[in-house]
Amino acid sequence: MDEGNTLSFCVTCGSRVQTSDRYCPSCGNNPRGGPRNGSYENTQDRYRRQTSKLPLVAILGFIWTALAVISGIQLFLFDFDTYYIINYSSITAQAILLVVSGACAGICATLCLTRKYYILTLVLCIIGSIVALTFIVGIVGLICAYFIYQGKYYFKEQEESS
């Protein structure tokens, strides 16, 4: 093995590096403790970006959209017999609430993927959750709203204003 290419460890993060490397491929710092490489993110930002829950929120939002809209349409088109005619307006209202909740979730999921309009995304998620709170999906929506709140720094207008 070449003397300049033996393995050593970065003093900042402990990753294996070659002694000839000027910057650690994991953290971007000089492996011997020298000046930092400006093209790398700092370790905390990198960790936050890797642990962002926004992709999970988008997936849950699209699942929520599909289930809520399909359930709402099925409720609305359900063939009621005379026994259920008394509850028809209540069931219609539930169907409309499910479709509205699904629409809010779909828009919220799309905005999470594009990482635009943080406030609108959070508000739509909360509205969709509250509208569907009588269903289990409302609780999932509130958890998604929390994840959106945690990931607010990854939305584009947040980065531009800093």
Confidence of residue 47 (pLDDT cuts 50, 70, 90): low
pTM: 0.60
pLDDT of residue 44: 54
- For 67-96, the pLDDT digits (tens) are 888 888 887 777 555 455 556 667 777 888
The CA-to-CA distance between both ends of the chain, in Å, stands at: 47
Compute the mean pLDDT over every residue in the chain, rounded to the nearest whole number.
76
Angle (deg, nearest 10), helices 137-150 and 88-114: 20
Structure-model confidence comparison of residues 16 and 82, the more confident one: 16
Cα–Cα distance measured from residue 113 to residue 115, given in angstroms and rounded to the nearest whole number: 5
Q: Is the pLDDT of residue 18 over 60?
A: yes
In the chain, where are the structural domains located?
A: 1-51, 52-161
pLDDT of residue 48: 55
Give the residue-averaged pLDDT of 31-44: 56
Angle (deg, nearest 10), helices 118-131 and 54-77: 40
Q: Is the pLDDT of residue 60 over 70?
A: yes
